[in-house]
């Protein structure tokens, strides 16, 4: 029989030794949650250390990511490819044991955590994806259940996660969606960096989660592994329509004679003397990073994991025999591959947009593109933060996602699940849940809100970029062009601000063709998220001679010949994005009347253009020609392109009809033309 105390103390020893060696980190939380980890990882978690990407594994999320040595110790002890040398290199350059867990760096880590509250929110996304995939793919035939999607999502979280407002957004949705396979274990130690949380954290967490519709268990003694294990078993047996919240009363820094239960155990090494005292107190006689063979034997999950995956493989083989098309579709989607017909779907949609040349808002152009894409890509899972009718994220192929009284996914008469999510007014929660959905696999999530509210979502957008996840943000009402709602809703700095996030693609398309291409690029971006910035107001179609270069982020839209100046070389280049492309084209006409030849470049994605080779960049923006940028946003961003002048806006907007605002702030063809003339005069 496994020695639970020895297993837990191994975690405590590794945590305090690694933090001490790094002279940096958080030993207290891993030491406090060690017995909780013994209960979950030792007795319940279904995983295979030899294959961290097994499709039907349970997912584990360490929401309080500062406790990273807990998960590193667990991964090492249970048999993942994380040798003891990596634990010795905790928090060092290029190690697999970063200060906070990072997906894609450490085998077995499911999501990058650290910004508190986002881990539990990612976990809601994991659990939602599991539930929807089960509804979509599981089958019963001839009395046999073919349940190829059937796993739990477990999450450890602490006081800080519950203080962050995003935890409210996530937990409320988990209750509304009846995510019965989501089990959260709350490390209730009452300590944060500033000390005892009682003066500033007075929530009754049990009643709070009961109000969300969760199954609340405990408090239980978080240092009694058997008690925690029983609580987990109770959660697994609970009604399937409620997520579970297990309150585990713990002591931070458990085992440390002088620092346990204090803030001094939270975010700094215990110190050599205190580590020595702790070793004596817990009866740990081994040198730093030395573990007895009995510990490895008790923790080893390789054989059990191999058996679990083998059983699932056998089940999947039977499923594939009975439902070969479904099996192939499941494998494709879990691998993140686009369908074989994707390229043709995009070509057809772009050509249709180009041929029809409609004058519509780019938010409507986005919906038109989505109509074609969602009909052909069942993995597209859309939604909106209570702005569906404004963001236009819903299509004929994506009915609303709903659950019945028993928690089952409601299906259409055709047997399809809902693929459009009403997130409510929860932009941050929506963004982080989408990250979890993407990380789980099987779906490509997209969600909409107004561009100005991207500020609410920003840290989750940054996390998607850091984690290299294909998540698509539909940000409509992208400028002062939204009109009367005024400066609270009019984006000024947002486009430039989003472009600063590394590995985030930002598109601000000018018409239906550019918008369709933007969607295609976003879907092809399997290793980065995308933000689509779309207009409220109608935009005329910009005539084009070719479509191929749109996907390169910027292209020559109109040479002087377009406006009658044949054999005249351009004297300047107007660079425009989105709704301002029409101004650039009109300014080109005005300048042509004065025999001034200019080139118009549409630059729907600066981030994509920046990745092009030097030759292409030079072909679009030739050296020696003055460049005038036009965008309804802050001007500072555009100087990087060597702009001689920028027609932009560096103040907040005003409340008035859009047409009035355009004139007031100088977004007219006449002002653009005058700005070009002034630049040439210099």
pLDDT (tens digit per residue) in 9-58: 999 999 999 999 999 999 999 999 999 999 999 999 999 999 999 999 99
- % of the chain beyond a pLDDT of 90: 98
**Which 3 state secondary structure label does DSSP give 185?**
strand
pLDDT at position 558 is: 98
* Dist. CA 60–CA 80, nearest whole Å: 14
Determine the length of the chain. Answer: 682
pLDDT at position 188 is: 98
* Dist. CA 157–CA 279, nearest whole Å: 27
1: pLDDT strictly greater than 90: no
630 by Cβ neighbours in 10 Å (0-12 / 13-18 / 19+) ranks as: buried
State the pLDDT confidence band at 2, using cuts at 50, 70 and 90: confident
For residues 625 and 682, which has the higher predicted lDDT (pLDDT)?
625
**Which 3 state secondary structure label does DSSP give 233?**
helix
Q: Which of 513, 506, 504 is nearest to 491 (CA)?
A: 506
Looking at 238-247, 275-284, 410-419, 611-620, which range is the least confident one?
A: 238-247
Q: Give the pairing type, strands 191-192 and 195-196.
A: antiparallel
Instruction: List pLDDT tens digits, range 197-208.
Output: 999 999 999 999
- Provide the mean pLDDT of the chain: 98
Please provide the DSSP assignment of 443-499 as one string. -EEEEEEEGGGHHHHHHHHHHHHHHT---EEEEES-SGGG-TT-TTT--SSHHHHHH
401: pLDDT strictly greater than 90: yes
Please state the pTM of the whole predicted model.
0.98
Instruction: List pLDDT tens digits, range 47-63.
Output: 999 999 999 999 999 99
pLDDT at position 240 is: 72
142: pLDDT strictly greater than 90: no
Instruction: List pLDDT tens digits, range 316-336.
Output: 999 999 999 999 999 999 999
* Dist. CA 229–CA 218, nearest whole Å: 12
Distance from the first to the final alpha carbon of the chain: 85
pLDDT at position 388 is: 98
- CB distance 291 to 298 below 8 Å: no
Instruction: List pLDDT tens digits, range 155-177.
Output: 999 999 999 999 999 999 999 99
279: pLDDT strictly greater than 80: yes
DSSP state of 285: -
Angle at which helix 4-22 crosses helix 68-78, to 10 degrees, equals 120
Query: Per the residue annotation, which of 268, 309, 427, 580 is the catalytic one?
Result: 427
H or E element at residue 422: strand 420-422
Task: Let me know if 358 is a catalytic residue.
Answer: no
239: pLDDT strictly greater than 90: no
């Amino acid at each position: 029989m496994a020695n639970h105390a020895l297993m837990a103390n191994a975690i405590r020893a590794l945590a305090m030794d690694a933090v001490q060696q790094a002279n940096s980190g958080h030993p207290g939380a891993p030491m406090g949650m060690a017995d909780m980890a013994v209960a979950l990882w030792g007795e319940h978690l279904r995983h295979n250390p030899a294959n961290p990407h097994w499709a039907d594994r349970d997912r584990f999320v360490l929401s309080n990511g500062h406790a990273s040595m807990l998960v590193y110790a667990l991964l090492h002890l249970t048999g993942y490819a994380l040798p003891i040398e990596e634990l010795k290199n905790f928090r060092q350059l290029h190690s697999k044991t970063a200060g906070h867990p990072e997906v894609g760096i450490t085998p077995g880590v499911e999501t990058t955590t650290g910004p508190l509250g986002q881990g539990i929110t990612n976990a809601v996304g994991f659990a939602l994806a599991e539930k929807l995939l089960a509804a979509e793919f599981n089958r019963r035939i001839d009395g046999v259940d073919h349940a190829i999607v059937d796993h739990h999502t477990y999450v450890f979280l602490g006081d800080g996660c519950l203080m962050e407002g995003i935890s409210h957004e996530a937990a409320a949705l988990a209750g509304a969606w009846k995510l019965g396979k989501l089990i959260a274990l709350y490390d209730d130690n009452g300590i944060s960096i500033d000390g005892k949380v009682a003066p500033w954290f007075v929530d009754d967490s049990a009643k709070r989660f009961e109000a969300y519709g969760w199954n609340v268990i405990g408090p239980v003694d978080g240092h009694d592994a058997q008690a925690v294990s029983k609580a987990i078993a109770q959660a697994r047996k609970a009604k399937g329509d409620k997520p579970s919240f297990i309150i585990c009363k713990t002591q931070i820094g458990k085992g440390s004679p002088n620092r346990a239960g204090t803030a001094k155990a939270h975010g700094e090494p215990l110190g050599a003397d205190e580590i020595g005292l702790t070793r004596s107190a817990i009866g740990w006689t081994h040198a730093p990073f030395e573990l007895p063979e009995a510990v490895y034997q008790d923790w080893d999950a390789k054989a059990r994991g191999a058996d679990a995956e083998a059983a699932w493989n056998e089940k999947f083989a039977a499923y594939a025999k009975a439902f070969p098309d479904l099996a192939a579709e499941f494998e494709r989607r879990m691998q993140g591959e686009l369908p074989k017909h994707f390229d043709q779907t995009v070509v057809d949609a772009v050509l249709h947009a180009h041929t029809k040349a409609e004058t519509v808002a780019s938010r409507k152009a986005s919906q038109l593109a989505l109509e074609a894409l969602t009909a052909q890509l069942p993995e597209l899972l859309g939604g909106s933060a209570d702005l569906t009718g404004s963001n236009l994220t819903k299509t004929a192929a994506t009915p609303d996602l709903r659950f019945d009284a028993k928690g089952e996914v409601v299906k259409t008469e055709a047997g399809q699940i809902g693929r459009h999510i009403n997130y409510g007014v929860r932009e941050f929660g929506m963004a982080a849940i989408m990250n979890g959905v993407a990380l789980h696999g099987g779906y490509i999530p997209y969600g909409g809100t107004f561009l100005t509210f991207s500020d609410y979502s920003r840290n989750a957008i940054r996390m998607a970029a850091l984690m290299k996840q294909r998540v698509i943000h539909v940000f409509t009402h992208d400028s002062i062009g939204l009109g009367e709602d005024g400066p609270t809703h009019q984006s000024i700095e947002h486009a430039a601000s989003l472009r600063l996030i590394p590995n985030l693609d930002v598109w601000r398309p000018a018409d239906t063709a550019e918008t369709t291409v933007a969607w295609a690029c976003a879907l092809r971006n399997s290793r980065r998220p995308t933000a689509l910035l779309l207009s409220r107001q109608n935009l005329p179609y910009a005539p084009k001679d070719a479509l191929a270069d749109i996907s390169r982020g910027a292209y020559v839209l109109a040479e002087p010949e377009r406006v009658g100046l044949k054999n005249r070389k351009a004297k300047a280049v107007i660079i425009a994005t989105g709704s301002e492309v029409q101004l650039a084209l009109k300014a080109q006409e005005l300048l042509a009347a004065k025999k001034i030849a200019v080139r118009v470049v549409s630059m729907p994605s600066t981030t994509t253009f920046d990745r092009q080779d030097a030759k292409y960049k030079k072909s679009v923006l030739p050296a020696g020609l003055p460049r005038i940028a036009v965008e309804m946003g802050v001007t500072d961003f555009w100087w990087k392109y060597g702009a001689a002048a920028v027609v932009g806006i560096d103040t907040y907007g005003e409340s008035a009809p859009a047409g009035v605002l355009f004139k007031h702030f100088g977004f007219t063809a006449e002002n653009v033309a005058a700005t070009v003339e002034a630049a040439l005069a210099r």
